[in-house]
Amino acid sequence: MSIDTSKLDNGVRVRFPPSPTGDPHVGLIRSALFNYAFAKHYGGKLVLRIEDTDAARNTEESYQAILQTLRWMGLEWDEGPEVGGEHGPYRQSERGEIYQDMAARLRESGFAYPCYCTAEELEAARELARQEKRNPGYEGTCRNLTPEQIAAYEAEGRTHVLRFRLPDRQIAWNDLVRGEIAFEAENVPDYPLLRADGSPLYALTNPVDDALMGITHVLRGEDLLPSTPRQIPLHEALVELGVSKQVPEFGHLPFVMGEGNKKLSKRDPQASFSYYPRTGYLPEGVLNYLALLGWSLGNDEEIFGKQELVAGFDGTRINSSPARFDLKKCEAINAVHLRRLETEDLAKRILPFLDREGLLLGGEDGHLADEGEWRTLLAATPLVQERMTVLSEAVPMLGFLFTGDGTDRRHAFQVNEADAEKVLTADAWPALAAATAALSALGTEESPWTVQAIDDALRAALIEGLGLKPKNAFTPVRVAVTGRRVSPPLFESLELLGRDRALARLNAATTRARAAASTAS
C-alpha cells in the first residue's frame, strides 16, 4: 500500500515549520525526519519554514541551532532559509505584507469578520460556560454585526481582532496516521487570525503559508490535531479565493515521551538535541533510533540507514500511539553504527573529541599539528571500536597514548588513583618487576617490540615463570601502562605506546609497588 500522489501537479510538497524558541527538541527533529523521509520517498520537496511571528520568544541562537541540527542529521531542505526557493521568504517575520493581504481578502469575501469583544468579556463567557458544563468556545457574539453596530463600536474606541468564520457543519478528514476523524460544528469555534494591533497569529500564518507554498501533506505533532478542524475550512476558503489548488492531507504523529507519562521534558538533558552531537552520537545512529519512534520498516530489521528509511517510508505505517524515548536503546543502535564505520572514518570522527579534551598537540583548521598522532590514532582506533557506544568514550580509553611531557598543551600521563590503590600493591610487585625485566629484553633486532613478542615475553615471565593466573598477571601491568584497570587490549596497547614510554611507566609502577611492599613488612 502507498499514498496516491498521481493527482498532484507538482508532486509531494511537505514542510517542516519550527519555531526558533530554545534548544531543538528530539521530538521536533523526529518530525523533521519523518517529513524528510516522506518527501524523498515520493520524490517530492521538503520546505523549511521558520515560524517566528512571536518576536518575544524567538532567538537567533535557536534559529541557527535548528539549521545546524538539520544539516548534522543530513536532512537537507529543498526550499527555505539559505537555499531559497520560489515561495520565499521562508521566515514568517519577513512575510508580514502577505498576511495582511490575505487577511484583507478573507475579510472582504466574508470568510472573516471583525470581533470587538474584549479579552475580559471573552474570559467571562468562557468561565460561565465552564461552570454550566457547556463547551467553552467563542459563542459568535460578533458574527453578524451590522455596519451600524460596527460604526458604534469604532466610535466607542473599541479595537477588534479579525476572526475566521467556521461553517456550520461537521468537519472531517481522513488522517494519514489515524484514519477518519470528525468534529461537530459546535466544537469548532470561530477563532482570531489577527490580533487587535493587526499582527498575524499562527492560526493565519501557518495555513496561509502552507497554501501559498503548495504544501500537499502536513505531517505534524499530535498536539496540533485539535487545530486541524479549524484549519481545513480556512484552507477551503483559500482554495475558493484562488490562493491554492487543494486542501493538504493531514497526518498527526504520536508524541515522543520521556519518563513517566509525560512528553519528554525540556528539563531532561537528552531532550535537547544538542546533547547527541556533543556526546558523540553519530548522525547515522540518531537517525536510525529516531525513525523507530513511531515507525518501523515492518520486518524485524531495526538497523538501517537514511536510504533504507527513505525507501520504506511511504507514510502508511506510522504508529498512532505515543513512544517513550529510551536512551539505552538509542545508545545500543548508535553503537552498532559505530562498529560498522571504516577505521579511518571513525578515527576522523574521534579526533575532535580528543582535541577538545586537550589530548592532542593541536593544529590549525582542525588539522593535526603532528602526523605521528594521526598514525597512532589510526592504529588505536580498531582497538576501541567495539568498546565504544559514543565517540566521547574514546577519550578515557585512548588517553594513555596521547600524553605530553609538560612542554605542550597535552596532559601528562597519570595513573587513576583508585585503580592504583587497588592494583599496584605489594602483591603486584613481583609481577611488575618480572614484566619490566621481560619487556626490557625486547626492542632488539632479533626480538622486536611487537604484539606477538610482547605477548610471548609476558606469558613466559608471568604465567609460566611466576605461575600467576592471567588476570592477576596482566592487571598490574595494565594499570601501570594505561593507568586504568579497564583499557584496550594490553599487548596491542603496549606495542602502540612504544618501548620507552612503556618501560618508564612500568618502572614507576614497580617503584610504587615496592614501596608498598616495604611499608607492609
Partner RNA sequence: GGCCCCUUCGUCUAGCGGCCUAGGACACCGCCCUUUCAAGGCGGCGGCGCGGGUUCGAAUCCCGUAGGGGCUACCA
| Minimum CB–partner distance for residue 183 and RNA (Å) | 5
The reply on whether position 411 binds RNA by CB under 7 A is: no
- b (16+ CB within 10 A) / e for 289-320: bbbbbbbbbeeeeeebebeebbebbebeebee
Using the rule CB under 7 A, is 54 a contact of RNA? yes
Give 161-213 as a DSSP string: EEEE---SS-EEEEETTTEEEEE-GGGS--EEEE-TTS-B-HHHHHHHHHHHT
Grid cell listed for 499 = 618501548
Burial of 285 (0-12, 13-18, 19+ CB in 10 A): buried
Taking CB under 7 A as the binding criterion, the range among 32-40, 149-157, 314-322, 365-373 that sits at the site for RNA is: 314-322
Q: Which of 45, 91, 235, 263 binds RNA (CB under 7 A)?
A: 263
CB 213 within 8 A of CB 90: no
Verify whether residue 266 is a known catalytic residue.
Answer: yes
CB atoms within 10 A of CB 99: 21
Instruction: For RNA, give the closer residue by CB, 261 or 518.
Output: 261
Instruction: Give kind and range of the element (H or E) at residue 336.
Output: helix 327-339
Nearest approach, Cβ of 463 to RNA (angstroms)? 9
| Least distance (Å) between residue 127 CB and RNA | 10
Nearer to RNA, 320 or 404 (CB): 320
461-469 contacts: CB < 8 A, separation 24 or more? Answer: 461/434, 461/435, 461/437, 462/431, 462/434, 462/435, 462/438, 465/434, 466/430, 466/431, 466/434, 468/431
- Coil, strand, or helix at residue 324? strand
Contact, 216 vs 176, CB < 8 A?
A: no
Q: By CB under 7 A, is residue 31 in contact with RNA? A: no
Which residue has 475580559 as its cell numbers? 120
203 binds RNA (CB under 7 A): yes
Judged by CB under 7 A, which of 179, 366, 406, 467 binds RNA?
Answer: 179
Q: In this structure, are residues 433 and 517 in contact, taking their beta carbons and an 8 Å threshold?
A: no
Min CB(399)–RNA separation in Å: 14
Q: Between 237 and 388, whose beta carbon lies closer to RNA?
A: 388
Q: Is 202 in the site for RNA (CB under 7 A)?
A: yes
Q: Residue from 10, 64, 174, 187 that binds RNA (CB under 7 A)? A: 187
Q: Which residue, 61 or 326, has its beta carbon nearer to RNA?
A: 326
Nearer to RNA, 125 or 361 (CB): 125
The reply to whether 339 sits near RNA by the rule CB under 7 A is yes
> What Å distances lie between residue 143 and 92, 112, 123, 184, 259, CA to CA?
29, 9, 18, 19, 45
Residue selected from 61, 326, 344, 421 as contacting RNA according to rule CB under 7 A: 326
Could you tell me if 162 and 107 are in contact, meaning their C-beta atoms sit under 8 angstroms apart? yes
From the CB of 324, what's the least distance to RNA, in Å?
Answer: 3
Whether the bond between 89 and the residue before it is cis, its omega within 30 degrees of 0, is: yes
**Among the options 7, 245, 262, 266, which is catalytic?**
266
State how far the Cα of 111 lies from the Cα of 233, in Å rounded to an integer.
9
Whether 399 and 393 have beta carbons less than 8 Å apart is answered as no
Q: Which is nearer to RNA, 73 or 117 (CB)?
A: 117
CB-CB contact of 248 with 174 (8 Å)? no
- Binding of residue 35 to RNA (CB under 7 A): no
Q: Which stretch binds RNA (CB under 7 A): 36-44, 324-332, 351-359, 360-368?
A: 324-332
- Note whether 315 binds RNA by CB under 7 A: no
Binding mask 140-159 toward RNA (x if CB under 7 A, else -) reads: -------------------x
Stretch that binds RNA, among 144-152, 265-273, 326-334, 441-449 (CB under 7 A): 326-334
Per CB under 7 A, the segment of 46-54, 141-149, 239-247, 421-429 that binds RNA is: 46-54
**Which 79-118 positions form the footprint of RNA (CB under 7 A)?**
92, 117-118
Q: How many residues bind RNA (CB under 7 A)?
A: 90
120-139: contacts with RNA (CB under 7 A)? 122, 126, 129-130, 133-137
Q: Does the protein bind RNA through residue 19 (CB under 7 A)? A: yes
Considering only residues 356 to 375 of the shown chain, the ones binding RNA according to CB under 7 A are none
CA dist., res. 134 & res. 58, Å (int): 36
In 3-state terms, what secondary structure has residue 315? coil
Site for RNA in 431-490 (CB under 7 A): 455, 470-471, 474-475, 478, 485-490
Residues facing residue 246 across a β-bridge? none
Instruction: Supply the residues annotated as catalytic.
Output: 266
